[in-house]
């Protein structure tokens, strides 16, 4: 899948926690992706990191494949056509 995983501070939701009173937030991973012009994001839960990062890596691998195919196709388009061998007359 397309997306970016990055570290971001979040509030835990507990009123008694320091983060609720403007204190340091809890570091957590977030997945963000722009889909159809709309930004969508979601926290990556504990134990999900490997799975989510693997999904993003698969997208990057696919993109590399598209780039490699584009390069090959560009070379094919730019290649000179093979001239047929002309036979000598007589
Ligand atoms: Zn907190």
Instruction: Give 17-38 pLDDT, tens digit per residue.
Output: 999 999 999 999 999 999 999 9
Residue 86, in any domain of the structure? no
Across 38-45, average pLDDT: 95
On whether residue 25 sits in a domain, the answer given is yes
Distance 8 CA to ligand 1 centre (A): 13
Residue 41 domain flag:
yes
Residue 37 lies in a domain: yes
In what side-by-side order are the strands of the sheet with 4-10?
A: 4-10, 26-35, 38-44
pLDDT of residue 90: 67
pLDDT of residue 4: 96
Residue 61 lies in a domain: yes
**In this structure, which residues have their CB less than 5 angstroms from ion ligand 1?**
12, 17, 19
Could you tell me the distance, in angstroms and rounded to a whole number, from the CA of residue 32 to the centre of ligand 1?
Answer: 22
Side-chain-facing half-sphere of 20: CA atoms under 13 Å = 6
Residue 83 lies in a domain: no
Is 71 a member of any domain? yes
Say if 18 falls within a structural domain: yes
Please tell me the total count of domains within the chain.
1
Range of the domain at 29: 4-78
Q: Provide the whole-model pTM.
A: 0.69
């Amino acid at each position: 899948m397309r997306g970016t995983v990055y570290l971001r501070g979040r509030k835990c939701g507990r009123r008694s926690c320091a983060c609720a009173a403007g204190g340091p937030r809890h570091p957590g991973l977030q997945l963000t992706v722009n889909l159809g012009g709309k930004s969508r994001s979601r926290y990556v839960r504990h134990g999900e990191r490997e799975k989510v990062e693997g999904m993003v890596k698969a997208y990057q691998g696919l993109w590399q494949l598209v780039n490699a195919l584009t390069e090959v196709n560009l070379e094919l388009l730019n290649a000179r056509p093979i001239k047929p061998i002309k036979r000598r007359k007589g």
